[in-house]
């Protein structure tokens, strides 16, 4: 954030506001952690703040302090719409295009509130008065810490805020292994631990509370993995029938795509997940090195994200989507094998 943006934010927050904070649809650890961390900060500073999520979050994130107060737009629709209508200030976190909020999009486009965006994905839209966008950041949670720091308020970071922000940084960095993890990231994490983030407990509740059905689903996913050594690529498919067989719950496939990158020599990993309710194939892309899955997802699968982590979708059936993907790989042979 530049000095002009910081001054605008300070002016906005110098008076009471009716604030709505919004993560993207199908929120992950960074989306929920950043919105809750900011929510606690604003509430503690006397602001009237509400979090509205486009849909439900995974069970393994519901332990976070304040999660019980998040409005689910799909379930608490009237209350959520009223909050958006009455809002004077709307924060959008961990996304940079209003198309990422599903059914909420039209209501946000019609809102009279002032918008502030905090996000680390590429190619941000221009809907916000203040856009804090930095694609080099490990996570939106790291950016929320910086946001609080820019306002001169890191001394106001409570244990609740620390636990929320730590969770998002941990999950979005793959437990601090991704290249976006910098020395500053580690310094911020150290500060959060000093302020009360329970790092061991957070890791346990996020990663070590699997259900038997989730582990069986993981086994199914790994069995379905196809390894294309000539392209240094591996991909996984999961059909709706397979999800149903193993009693899929929201968040159960989190991290499955990363298993492809644990194979020696694999630089590009993908998972295709059938969603019959929405009539699409949801896709996650991961890569190592300089192969940009953001560019790949934008070019072929209506998606985008980061250089090494992105998402997309396909309207084709599962098998046709996988075949289309495989047929694209020869175009990128040099990038994947150099």
- Position 179 confidence tier, pLDDT thresholds 50, 70, 90: confident
Q: Residue 314 is inside which H or E element, if any?
A: strand 309-314
CATH of the domain at 169: 3.90.1640.10
Q: What are the pLDDT digits (tens) for 193-222?
A: 999 999 999 999 999 999 999 999 999 999
Residue 263: what pLDDT? 97
Residues 181 and 40 in one domain: yes
Determine the Cα–Cα distance for residues 297 and 309; give it in Å rounded to an integer. 10
Q: What are the pLDDT digits (tens) for 243-259?
A: 999 999 999 999 999 99
Report which of 228, 284, 294, 234 is spatially closest to residue 262, judged by C-alpha positions. 234
Domain of residue 217, residue span: 210-335
234: its two tokens: 């591996």
Q: What are the pLDDT digits (tens) for 136-170?
A: 999 999 999 999 999 999 999 999 999 999 999 99
The DSSP-derived string for 284-311 is: EEEESTT--HHHHHHHHSS-EE-SSEEE
Average pLDDT over residues 10-28: 97
Residues 235 and 197 in one domain: no
Residues 164 and 236 in one domain: no
| Strands, E assignment, 9-129 | 18-22, 48-53, 71-72, 89-93, 114-119
Residue 62: what pLDDT? 95
> Which of residues 144, 170, 205 is at a domain's end?
205
Residues 107 and 240 in one domain: no
| Helix 318-328 × helix 293-300 angle, to 10° | 120
Asked if residue 268 lies in contact with residue 287, where contact means CB atoms within 8 angstroms, the answer is yes
Residues 111 and 79 in one domain: yes
> Which of residues 205, 234, 259 is at a domain's end?
205
| Strands, E assignment, 46-86 | 48-53, 71-72
Could you give the percent of the chain with pLDDT greater than 90? 96
Determine the Cα–Cα distance for residues 338 and 332; give it in Å rounded to an integer. 10
pTM over 0.85: yes
3-state secondary structure 103-142: HHHHHHHCCCCEEEEEECCCCCCCCCCEEEECCCCCCHHH
324: its two tokens: 């289309």
Q: What are the pLDDT digits (tens) for 87-110?
A: 999 999 999 999 999 999 999 999
> Which of residues 147, 181, 205 is at a domain's end?
205
Average pLDDT over residues 43-49: 98
Residues 194 and 219 in one domain: no
β-pairing verdict for 268-275 and 280-287 = antiparallel
Residues 9 and 136 in one domain: yes
Average pLDDT over residues 305-331: 96
- Position 288 confidence tier, pLDDT thresholds 50, 70, 90: very high
Determine the Cα–Cα distance for residues 213 and 247; give it in Å rounded to an integer. 6
Asked if residue 329 lies in contact with residue 266, where contact means CB atoms within 8 angstroms, the answer is no
Determine the Cα–Cα distance for residues 319 and 184; give it in Å rounded to an integer. 43
Residues 174 and 215 in one domain: no
CA dihedral (190, 194, 195, 200) in degrees, to 10, reads 80
135: its two tokens: 């694609």
Residues 311 and 224 in one domain: yes
Report the domain count for the chain: 2
Q: What are the pLDDT digits (tens) for 163-175?
A: 999 999 999 999 9
Could you give the percent of the chain with pLDDT greater than 70? 100
3-state SS class at 269: strand
Residues 28 and 145 in one domain: yes
Q: Residue 244's CB: how many other CB atoms inside 10 A?
A: 10
Angle value at C-alpha 288, between 333 and 204, nearest 5 degrees: 145
Report whether pLDDT(338) > 90: no
């Amino acid at each position: 954030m530049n000095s002009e943006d910081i001054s605008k934010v300070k002016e906005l927050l110098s008076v009471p506001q009716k604030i709505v904070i919004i993560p993207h649809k199908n929120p992950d650890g960074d989306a929920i952690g950043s919105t809750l961390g900011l929510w606690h900060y604003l509430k503690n500073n006397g602001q009237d703040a509400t979090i509205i999520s486009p849909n439900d979050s995974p069970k393994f994130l519901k332990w976070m302090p304040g999660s019980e107060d998040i409005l689910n737009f799909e379930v608490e629709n009237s209350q959520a719409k009223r909050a958006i209508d009455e809002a004077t200030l709307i924060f959008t976190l961990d996304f940079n295009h209003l198309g990422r909020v599903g059914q909420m999009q039209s209501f946000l486009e019609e809102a009279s509130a002032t918008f502030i965006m905090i996000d680390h994905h590429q190619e941000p839209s221009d809907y916000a008065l203040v856009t804090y966008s930095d694609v080099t950041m490990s996570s939106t949670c790291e950016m929320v810490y910086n946001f609080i720091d820019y306002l001169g308020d890191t001394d106001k970071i409570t244990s609740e805020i620390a636990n929320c922000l730590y969770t998002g940084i941990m999950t979005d960095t793959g437990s601090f292994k991704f290249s976006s993890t910098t020395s500053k990231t580690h310094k911020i994490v150290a500060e959060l631990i000093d302020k009360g983030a329970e790092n061991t407990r957070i890791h346990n509740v996020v990663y070590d509370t699997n259900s038997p059905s989730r582990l069986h689903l993981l086994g199914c996913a790994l069995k379905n993995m196809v390894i294309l050594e000539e392209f240094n690529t591996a991909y996984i498919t999961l059909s709706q029938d397979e999800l149903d067989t193993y009693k899929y719950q929201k968040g159960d496939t989190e991290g499955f795509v990363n298993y492809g990158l644990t194979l020696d020599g694999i630089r590009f990993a993908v998972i295709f997940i059938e969603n019959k309710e929405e009539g699409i194939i949801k896709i996650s892309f991961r890569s190592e090195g300089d192969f940009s899955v953001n560019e790949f997802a934008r070019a072929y699968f209506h998606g985008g994200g980061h250089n090494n982590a992105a998402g997309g979708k396909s309207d084709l059936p599962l098998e046709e989507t996988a075949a289309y993907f495989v047929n694209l790989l020869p175009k990128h042979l040099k990038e994947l094998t150099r």
